[in-house]
Structure 1
Amino acid sequence: MASWNSTELKVLSNVFGWIAFCAWSISFYPQVLLNFKRKSVVGLNFDFVVLNLTKHSSYLIYNASVFFSSAVQRQYHNKYGFNQMLPVAANDVAFSSHAVLLTAFTLFQIAIYDRGTQKVSRITMAIVSAAWIAIAICIIIAIQKHSWLWLVNCFNMLQVFMTVIKYIPQAVMNFRRKSTIGFSIGNILLDLLGGLTNYGQMAVQSIDQHSWVNFYGNIGKTLLSLVSIFFDLLFIVQHYVLYPVKKEISSSEV
């Protein structure tokens, strides 16, 4: 099995990884606290939350499988070489587990707080249903061929797809309302920090191993950060430039 060549780079990689874990994990709380203070979820797009739950659930399955399953690890090394390190670290598993719990709790808040006229769209429900039906088909195929790495990569690509589309409903909602009230910018700032440090961790590992397999061997993690950073920057522009919160609006609504 592969091992680190540099103790310093190993430490730096762990620092980046756990900073990403902390930033991404804490990023869920500003929205949860904002919902609690307002006793309302008006302004938070429900499609975003539902798609986010599917995204994090599939990402958890991928991370846990690669990190814990010897069968998946064996197939990964057979494909990319036994001198390559696994592309999933402990902080990845910890983050995705926490993300599923917090996203599910946000859905619980949607169920109990003032929702106004907002609801989950039929398009989102259709997308989520189709996604899990596709995964069920992949599971049947994988069982027949014992293609466990291929199967977990299906979950990984599902989370990439959900990452790409989950931000769109919120961005469109902000544009239509010409406001970001009800949507926490704290979530976005922490998400941006998590995305940047996640790339830092991957880059450090690649430098140490003199190989970029870490990036294309886990294309889901690579695209996850890239897409997240793009939309985080978009939301920052919406919040601070296009639709800045007026001073007369109370801080409880920001």
Structure 2
Amino acid sequence: MASWNSALLEVIYQVLGWTAFVSWSLSFYPQVILNFRRKSVVGLNFDFVVLNLTKHSSYLIYNCVLYFSRAVQEQYREKYGYGEMIPVGANDVAFSIHAVLLTMIALCQIAIYDRGTQTISRISIAVVIAAWLTAAVCFFVALPHDSWLWLISIFNSIQVFITTIKYIPQAVMNFARKSTDGFSIVYILLDFLGGMANFSQMAMQSLDQGSFVNFYGNMGKTSISLICMFFDLLFMCQHFILYPSKRVAITANANKGLQEQLIKSVAVPPSHVV
């Protein structure tokens, strides 16, 4: 089994890994809290949440199997070399479990809070069904040959594919509304920090081992970091540059409406005037 050559790089690796875990884990809460305070999910794209659940569920299966299964770890080393380290850490497993739970909470909020006219698109439902059907077929293909590393690589590919497309409905929705109101920017900022920390963590391992195997040996982890950062930058651009006036206008109108309601509630009816 491979070991670290530099104690310093190992410490940095662990710090970056848990920084990614904390950032990505905390990133789920601002949206959940925003939904709770507003008692509304208007502005949060439902396709984004549904696709996100499939993405994180696939990633959870990949991380747990590669981290806990000795047989799969042996197959990994046979393919990439016995001197290579397993590219999944405890922080990856912990994040995946937490992500699935929080995404399920967001789905529950969609079911109980004000949704306006928003619905889950048939395209997203079809994508989710196709993803799980593909995984089921691959399971039965892998079963006779014990090709478990190949099987979990399918789950890894599914989560990469879902990660690539899951942000698109929200980005298009923001563009159509010309507003990011209802979609938490704090979520995006924390997501971006997590992506940077996650990618940097893999870079530390590559520097220590003098090899880039961990990057292409776990393309899922590499891809989600880069894809997340790309879309996070897009959402930041929408929030801070493209639609700030629209966001301010919505907030101002909401405050104005609240003030008018307060004035009406304390006004004395004309019939009571002497």
Could you say which residue in structure 2 is the equivalent of 1:206? Answer: 206
**Per the alignment, in what secondary structure is the counterpart of residue 142 of structure 2?**
helix
**Per the alignment, in what secondary structure is the counterpart of residue 251 of structure 2?**
coil
Q: Matched residues in 1 for 2:199 and 2:10: separation?
A: 15
Q: Matched residues in 1 for 2:9 and 2:131: separation?
A: 38
User: Per the alignment, do residues 248 and 76 of structure 1 end up closer, same or farther by CA in structure 2, a change over 3 Å counting?
Assistant: closer
Q: Matched residues in 2 for 1:100 and 1:9: separation?
A: 30
Could you say which residue in structure 1 is the equivalent of 2:8? Answer: 8
TM-score by length of 2: 0.91
Could you say which residue in structure 1 is the equivalent of 2:130? Answer: 130
Q: Does 1:171 find its partner at 2:140? A: no
Q: CA deviation at 1:246?
A: 1.1
Q: CA deviation at 1:250?
A: 5.6
Deviations 1:72-130 (A, max 9, x none): 10000000111100010000000011000000000000001000111100111011101
Identity %: 66
Structure 2: gaps of 5 or more residues: 256-274
Q: Matched residues in 2 for 1:16 and 1:251: separation?
A: 42
| Runs of 4+ with deviation above 2 angstroms | 250-253
Could you say which residue in structure 1 is the equivalent of 2:31? Answer: 31
Could you say which residue in structure 2 is the equivalent of 1:246? Answer: 248
Q: CA deviation at 1:145?
A: 1.5
* Aligned 8 A contact 1:37 1:252 in 2: no
Partner amino acid, structure 1, of 2:6:
S
Q: Matched residues in 1 for 2:130 and 2:3: separation?
A: 40
Q: Matched residues in 1 for 2:54 and 2:217: separation?
A: 22
TM-score by length of 1: 0.98
**Per the alignment, in what secondary structure is the counterpart of residue 208 of structure 1?**
helix
**Per the alignment, in what secondary structure is the counterpart of residue 172 of structure 1?**
helix
* Aligned 8 A contact 1:44 1:170 in 2: yes
* Aligned 8 A contact 1:38 1:252 in 2: no
Pick the structure with greater CA Rg. Answer: 2
Partner amino acid, structure 2, of 1:166:
K
Q: Matched residues in 1 for 2:204 and 2:219: separation?
A: 16
Question: Quick one: higher RCO (CA 8 Å, sep 6+), 1 or 2?
Answer: 1
Deviations 1:3-58 (A, max 9, x none): 00011110000000000000000000000000000000000000000000000000
Q: Matched residues in 1 for 2:239 and 2:254: separation?
A: 16
| Count of residues in correspondence between the two structures | 253
Structure 1: gaps of 5 or more residues: none
Q: CA deviation at 1:62?
A: 0.2
